[in-house]
């Protein structure tokens, strides 16, 4: 028997309107509960979404198949756990195969809390809600509004306002796609080799084959081989400072910089943050951060960065993207940060939160094939292209583990190359356990890639095993997560650093480099230059975790207040 798609509530809407709005599908075998949740959903979300209801799991699955066949979008699934025939978790497992992008929420009684927590891992549950959800303004709407905001952002990215056409195994194309994705610009990627639409668009636009990649903007503009700065300016990503002088200039838009921007702006400091690539920094490339406080299901690095960016802007912080700090100058009580785009930012205080980047492999072939099958970081834009392919992840820390788990959902096989004896010394236990449960991930310890080869794209890696034997193996893509190189060359001769380039702060500042010995010691996050602070991974002896970077960024603002009060 085929389920009919019925909206919860009276009245018929026009067919075009019905198709335009995405659906929220709720399922419960108790009519009174189903009517109550549908009523509350309709009251708060009915103007933006269709609210559909089903009296059982099988009926709901048939409804989802019908929606998918029609090409309709499903934003949110809400299911009761205790249903005869098909429990809520079982229904959500099957529903995920039909509408994989929909957010999933489980309704449960207090006695079933343990089952709900287990479901977070088992069915990739986004949230669970306890019944009753009264009052909905406090117990229901905030949670669902947050989930729907994340879904809407993802749907916008998939729909795409910018069309990028190029070769998949092109460094320039990869850099453009990655830049747009990390800045959460809605964009659609078209492969010139595989997509007939791409070839037609290139012909219509009159773009020569040697001028790819090309970006087609919504206003009709055609940008051939655009630089990141050029496309950022055209899309309004890059901005110019609004003020002549600031209380606080933050260099770097990773977790530490974003936290400082939030706290600085919220506490009345005129705050500006400068980021050379995209908000989130290295953490923004993480496919899934599962041990960050307050997010039981975890969240992606880009999602965390987007939330923090919105929060900082709402509180009044300025964010300057695609700008790189090139020098720090100290003139009396003034601090000046020179920018790559020209000009400088004047401030009372500077916070260096410029973070680190993955160290480049100097093995033969790696530099030549970077962007053409070899990538540094998670390169989330490449994940779907790895479907049923053989992928290698190099590294043994959390970032490598998160990437391996993410790519395992697409690739036929994921091989982790780890130089150490095991993962236990460098990776969180929860990740090690996840990796052990995934049959298509192979962990090779005491192993490393010593060469890469290919005909314009990566084809094989030469891998040295534990016994020293080297073998050439076919590989479709390789993602590198090794070491950490700090972005501090622009501070050469101004701020004290250790032998690896990490910034010294607080008690680590050498006495001979501290100019205020007679007055006070440097604050715990203060560098060798008074009024210049450091936070996050770029600080010497820092803990390389997102939560600690956020903590340091917020703590730095408190120390900056102390400095300003006594300066």
CA distances from 435 to 100, 133, 508 (A): 21, 36, 38
Q: CB neighbours of 76 closer than 8 A, spacing ≥ 6?
A: 24, 25, 49, 102, 103, 104, 105, 144, 147, 148, 151
**Whole-angstrom distance, CA of residue 217 vs CA of residue 235:** 8
Give pLDDT, residue 158.
62
Q: Give 338's strand partners.
A: 327, 344
| Residue 197 tokens, joined | 């639409």
Give pLDDT, residue 152.
86
What structural domains does the chain harbor?
15-157 (3.40.50.2300), 160-235 (3.40.30.10), 245-357+485-566 (3.50.50.60), 374-480 (3.50.50.60)
Query: Which residue, 412, 354, 414, is CA-closest to 378?
Result: 414
| Residue 453 tokens, joined | 């080869």
Adjacency order of strands within the sheet including 127-130 = 50-54, 23-27, 74-80, 103-108, 127-130
Tell me the torsion sign for CA atoms 166, 172, 178, 181.
Answer: negative
Give pLDDT, residue 345.
96
Torsion angle in degrees (nearest 10) through CA of 259, 263, 265, 271 = -50
CA distances from 119 to 77, 122, 136, 533 (A): 14, 5, 23, 43
- List per-residue pLDDT tens for the chain, 567 residues long: 445 555 545 444 444 444 468 999 999 999 999 999 999 999 999 999 999 999 999 999 999 999 988 888 999 999 998 888 888 989 998 999 899 889 999 988 876 777 777 777 667 788 888 888 889 998 899 999 989 988 887 776 666 678 999 998 888 998 898 888 888 888 888 999 888 888 988 988 899 988 999 999 988 889 999 988 889 888 888 778 999 999 999 999 999 999 999 999 999 999 999 998 888 887 777 777 888 888 887 888 888 888 899 999 999 999 998 889 999 999 988 999 999 888 899 999 999 999 998 889 999 999 999 999 999 887 777 888 888 999 999 999 998 999 999 899 899 999 999 999 999 988 999 899 999 999 999 999 999 999 999 998 999 999 999 999 999 999 999 999 997 889 999 999 999 999 999 999 999 999 999 999 999 999 999 999 999 999 999 999 998 889 999 999 999 999 999 999 987
Cα 567 off chain centre by: 38
Give pLDDT, residue 18.
46
Q: Give 104's strand partners.
A: 77
Q: CB neighbours of 487 closer than 8 A, spacing ≥ 6?
A: 252, 276, 354, 355, 356, 357, 538
Give pLDDT, residue 425.
87
Q: Which residue has the tokens 């490598």?
A: 400
Give pLDDT, residue 2.
47
Give pLDDT, residue 1.
43
């Amino acid at each position: 028997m085929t389920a009919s798609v019925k909206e919860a509530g009276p009245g018929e809407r026009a067919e075009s309107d019905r198709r335009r709005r995405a659906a929220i599908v709720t399922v419960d075998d108790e009519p009174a509960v189903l009517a109550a949740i549908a009523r509350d959903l309709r009251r708060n979300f009915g103007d933006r979404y269709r609210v559909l209801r089903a009296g059982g799991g099988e009926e709901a699955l048939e409804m989802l198949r019908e929606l998918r066949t029609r090409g309709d979008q499903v934003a949110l699934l809400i299911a009761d756990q205790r249903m005869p025939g098909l429990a809520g978790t079982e229904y959500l497992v099957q529903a995920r195969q039909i509408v994989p992008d929909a957010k999933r929420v489980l309704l449960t009684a207090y006695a079933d809390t343990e089952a709900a927590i287990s479901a977070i891992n088992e069915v990739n549950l986004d949230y669970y809600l306890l019944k009753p959800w009264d009052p909905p303004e406090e117990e229901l709407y905030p949670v669902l509004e947050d989930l729907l905001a994340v879904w809407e952002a993802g749907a916008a990215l998939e729909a795409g306002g910018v069309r990028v056409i190029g070769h998949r195994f092109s460094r320039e194309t990869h850099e453009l796609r990655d830049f747009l994705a990390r800045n959460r610009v809605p964009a659609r990627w078209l492969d010139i080799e595989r997509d007939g639409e791409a070839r037609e668009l290139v012909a219509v636009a009159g773009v020569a084959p040697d001028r790819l990649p090309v970006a087609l903007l919504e206003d009709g503009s055609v940008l051939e081989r655009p630089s990141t700065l050029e496309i950022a300016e055209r899309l309004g990503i890059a901005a110019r400072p609004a003020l002549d002088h600031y209380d606080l200039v933050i260099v770097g838009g990773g977790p530490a910089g974003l936290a400082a921007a939030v706290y600085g702006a919220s506490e009345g400091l005129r705050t500006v943050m400068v980021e050379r690539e995209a908000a989130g920094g290295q953490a923004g490339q993480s496919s899934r951060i599962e041990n960050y406080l307050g997010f039981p299901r975890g969240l992606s690095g880009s999602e965390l960065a987007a939330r923090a960016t919105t929060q900082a802007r709402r509180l009044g912080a300025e964010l300057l993207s695609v700008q790189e700090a090139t020098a720090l100058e100290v003139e009396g009580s003034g601090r000046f940060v020179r920018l790559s785009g020209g000009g400088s930012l004047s401030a009372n205080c500077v916070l260096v939160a410029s973070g680190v980047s993955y160290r480049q492999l100097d093995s033969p072939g790696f530099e030549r094939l970077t962007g053409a099958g070899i990538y540094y970081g998670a390169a989330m834009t490449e994940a779907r292209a790895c479907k049923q392919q053989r992928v290698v992840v190099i590294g043994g820390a959390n970032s490598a583990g998160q990437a391996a788990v993410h790519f395992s959902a697409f690739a036929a096989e994921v091989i982790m190359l780890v130089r150490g004896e095991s993962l236990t010394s460098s990776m969180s236990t929860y990740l090690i356990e996840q990796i052990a449960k995934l049959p298509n991930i192979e962990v090779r310890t005491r192993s490393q890639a010593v060469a890469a080869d290919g005909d314009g794209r990566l084809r094989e890696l030469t891998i040295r095993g534990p016994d020293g034997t080297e073998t050439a193996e076919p590989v479709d893509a390789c993602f590198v997560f090794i070491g950490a190189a700090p972005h501090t060359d622009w501070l050469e001769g101004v701020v004290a650093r250790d032998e690896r380039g990490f910034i010294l702060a607080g008690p680590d500042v050498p006495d001979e480099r501290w100019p205020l010995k007679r007055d006070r010691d440097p604050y715990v996050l203060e560098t060798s230059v008074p009024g210049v602070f450091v936070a996050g991974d770029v600080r010497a002896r820092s803990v390389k975790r997102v939560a600690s970077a956020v903590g340091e960024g917020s703590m730095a603002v408190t120390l900056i207040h102390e400095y300003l009060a006594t300066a």
